[in-house]
């Protein structure tokens, strides 16, 4: 196997999900908090647009690698509508999910030895995709005491002469952390001052609750625009994770390089999925506001219930659909005769003894925590957290 591929590890979140789904298939009543996808179906007008595209021979052919022209125009209009970022459609590259946009941005911009600052806890794909591009991920840790938000001071301490890029995401996975406008401005100014590149992953733009607001980094700090790649996709906002449509918005030379790379890697994204994405982003935001209301309700419930469990400390996140709870106080103790040394062992115990799937903090570069997605039915959520509570009532000193 190549050194490059041997150096990366499988996605722990997908692995947890696969194990939980296998147990469910085997008839076990597993409740899974592992999933990173909305539990809602794709809106019907989107499905209908895909069905119409299926029947239209125009969509049966290869199409432009960078994306269907009508989708790129729709994405430019959607971006202006949702974040106030005014971009020409020619800067947009349509990809197989935001994940491929992330990969291609790293591949297009990084050289061996380049360091990329990655606020931790991080989405597991960032460091692996950075390594695959031959560069070096440098985690910058922020814990619950700052709401899992990194500061400019922390970034500055981690910067070296090899630092080439920052990965920024707000709202963030796995913590649900949302940066306010002033914090984004401070980070953007710092990026511009040091002439770094920045990836702004905006996939959770519509998943913000209460008084929290989403702000797009290149809108708050226009000075980064010539060195910024915005990444986004339809997976979360339009309940379309399986359709595999994402995009990047980048300066012309970078979007050109990403398109060339894509032309040799995957050609075009499935035309049917692109037609569906076009209908999704051109339609209103009604479906996402229905989901947001449900997520907000579940967020409040799960935070309250988890904090009622001894040894669990769960800050209330402002965005995405995850909570990130500290379980550090439980480590080193015994539950039903089993010693729980790490959050990974606790996650295993929860699956074995309570039939509840969660993702351990290890997956996100921060042992001592558990991530729970609340994109599941309200009744399952309550039953699942109650199972955790019942199991952890058996903690021995
Ligand atoms: N960025 C973040 C922060 C994510 O959480 C995810 C999905 N888990 C993605 C990107 C990838 O999304 P997609 O399904 O569009 O590839």
Q: Is 207 in the pocket of ligand 1 (CB under 6 A)?
A: no
Q: Which long-range contacts (CB under 8 A, 24 or more apart) does 133-137 make?
A: 133/103, 133/106, 133/107, 134/4, 134/110, 135/106, 135/110, 135/111, 135/164, 136/162
Angstrom CA distances, 342 to 109, 130, 285, 361, stand at 36, 27, 41, 9
Provide the pLDDT for residue 131. 95
Among candidate residues 229, 262, 283, the one where a domain is terminated: 283
Q: Is 235 in the pocket of ligand 1 (CB under 6 A)?
A: yes
Domain count, the chain: 2
Same domain, 170 and 252: yes
Q: Counting beta carbons within 10 angstroms of the beta carbon of residue 181, is it exposed (0 to 12), middle (13 to 18) or buried (19 or more)? A: exposed
pLDDT tens-digit series, residues 133-146: 999 999 999 998 89
**Tell me, what CATH number does 294's domain have?**
3.90.1150.10
Q: Ligand 1 centroid to 356 CA: how many Å?
A: 23
Ligand 1: which atom is nearest the Cα of residue 96?
A: 16
Percent of the chain with pLDDT over 70: 100
Same domain, 356 and 269: no
Same domain, 86 and 190: yes
Q: Ligand 1 centroid to 333 CA: how many Å?
A: 35
Provide the pLDDT for residue 394. 83
Q: Is 98 in the pocket of ligand 1 (CB under 6 A)?
A: yes
Provide the pLDDT for residue 28. 92
pLDDT band at 3 (very low <50, low <70, confident <90, very high): confident
Average pLDDT on 302-329 reads: 97
Same domain, 320 and 275: no
Q: Counting beta carbons within 10 angstroms of the beta carbon of residue 39, is it exposed (0 to 12), middle (13 to 18) or buried (19 or more)? A: middle
Same domain, 109 and 144: yes
Among 262, 223, 217, 214, smallest CA distance to 92 is for 262
Question: Does residue 395 carry a pLDDT above 90?
Answer: no
Give the DSSP letter of residue 145: G
Provide the pLDDT for residue 363. 92
Q: 2-16, 34-48, 251-265, 309-323: which range is least confident on average?
A: 2-16
pLDDT band at 319 (very low <50, low <70, confident <90, very high): very high
Same domain, 150 and 96: yes
Same domain, 154 and 294: no
Among 266, 276, 358, 269, smallest CA distance to 309 is for 358
Element (H, E) at 320: none
**Tell me, what CATH number does 175's domain have?**
3.40.640.10
Same domain, 242 and 301: no
Report the Cα 83 to chain-centroid distance in Å: 18
Parallel, antiparallel, or unpaired: how do β-strands 228-233 and 246-249 relate? antiparallel
Same domain, 30 and 147: no
Average pLDDT on 307-326 reads: 96
Count helices and strands in the chain by DSSP H and E runs: 14, 15
Tokens of 382: 């309550």
Average pLDDT on 371-393 reads: 96
pLDDT band at 13 (very low <50, low <70, confident <90, very high): confident
Average pLDDT on 316-323 reads: 97
Report pTM: 0.96
pLDDT tens-digit series, residues 92-112: 999 999 999 999 999 999 999
Among candidate residues 230, 258, 283, the one where a domain is terminated: 283
Tokens of 283: 């339609």
Same domain, 354 and 270: no
Question: Does residue 113 carry a pLDDT above 80?
Answer: yes
Cα gap 262→241, rounded to integer Å: 20
**Domain limits for position 20:** 3-41+287-396
Provide the pLDDT for residue 92. 98
Cα gap 76→182, rounded to integer Å: 26
Q: Which residues pair with 248 in a beta bridge?
A: 93, 231
Question: Does residue 10 carry a pLDDT above 80?
Answer: no
Same domain, 384 and 314: yes
Question: Does residue 130 carry a pLDDT above 90?
Answer: yes
Cα gap 386→297, rounded to integer Å: 17
Cα gap 242→240, rounded to integer Å: 6
Percent of the chain with pLDDT over 90: 90
Among 9, 1, 199, smallest CA distance to 110 is for 199
Same domain, 338 and 377: yes
Q: Ligand 1 centroid to 35 CA: how many Å?
A: 12
pLDDT band at 201 (very low <50, low <70, confident <90, very high): very high
Q: Ligand 1 centroid to 203 CA: how many Å?
A: 7
Among candidate residues 263, 283, 303, the one where a domain is terminated: 283
Q: Ligand 1 centroid to 101 CA: how many Å?
A: 10
Cα gap 184→221, rounded to integer Å: 8
Question: Does residue 286 carry a pLDDT above 80?
Answer: yes
Q: Is 147 in the pocket of ligand 1 (CB under 6 A)?
A: no
Q: In b/e form, how buried is each residue of 77-100, taking b as 16+ CB within 10 angstroms?
A: ebbeebbebebebebbbbbbbbbb
Question: Does residue 149 carry a pLDDT above 90?
Answer: yes
Question: Does residue 397 carry a pLDDT above 90?
Answer: no
């Amino acid at each position: 196997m190549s050194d490059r591929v041997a150096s990366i590890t499988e996605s722990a979140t997908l692995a947890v999900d696969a194990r939980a789904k296998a147990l469910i298939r085997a008839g076990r009543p597993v409740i899974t908090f592992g999933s990173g996808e909305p539990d809602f179906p794709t809106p019907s007008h989107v499905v209908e647009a895909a069905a119409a595209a299926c029947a239209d021979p125009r969509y049966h052919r290869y199409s432009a690698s960078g994306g269907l022209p009508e989708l790129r125009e729709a994405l430019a209009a959607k971006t202006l509508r949702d974040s106030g970022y005014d971009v020409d459609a020619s800067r947009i590259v349509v990809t197989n999910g935001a994940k491929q946009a992330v990969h291609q941005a790293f591949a297009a911009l990084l050289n061996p030895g380049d360091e990329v600052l990655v606020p931790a806890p991080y989405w597991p794909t960032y460091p692996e995709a950075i390594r695959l591009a031959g560069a070096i991920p440098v985690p910058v840790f922020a814990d619950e005491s700052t709401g899992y938000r990194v500061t400019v001071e922390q970034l500055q301490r981690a910067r070296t002469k090899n630092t080439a890029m920052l990965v920024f995401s707000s709202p963030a996975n796995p913590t649900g952390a949302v940066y306010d406008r002033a914090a984004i401005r401070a980070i953007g100014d710092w990026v511009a001052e040091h002439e770094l590149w920045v990836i702004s992953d905006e996939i959770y733009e519509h998943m913000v609750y209460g008084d929290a607001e989403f702000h797009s980094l290149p809108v708050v700090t226009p000075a980064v625009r010539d060195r910024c790649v915005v990444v986004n996709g339809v997976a979360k906002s339009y309940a379309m994770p399986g359709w595999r449509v994402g995009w990047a918005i980048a300066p012309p030379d970078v979007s050109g390089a990403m398109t060339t790379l894509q032309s040799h890697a995957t050609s075009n994204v499935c035309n049917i999925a692109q037609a569906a994405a076009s209908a999704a982003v051109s339609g209103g935001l009604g479906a996402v506001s229905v989901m947001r209301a449900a997520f907000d309700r579940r967020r409040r419930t799960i935070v309250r219930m988890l904090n009622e469990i001894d040894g669990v400390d769960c800050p209330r996140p402002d965005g995405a659909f995850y909570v990130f709870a500290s379980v550090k106080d439980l480590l080193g103790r015994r539950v039903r005769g089993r010693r729980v040394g790490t959050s990974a062992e606790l996650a295993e115990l929860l699956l074995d003894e309570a039939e509840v799937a969660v993702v351990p903090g290890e997956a996100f570069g921060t042992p001592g925590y558990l991530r729970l997605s609340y994109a599941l039915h309200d009744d399952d959520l309550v039953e699942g957290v109650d199972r955790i509570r019942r199991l952890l009532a058996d903690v021995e000193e």
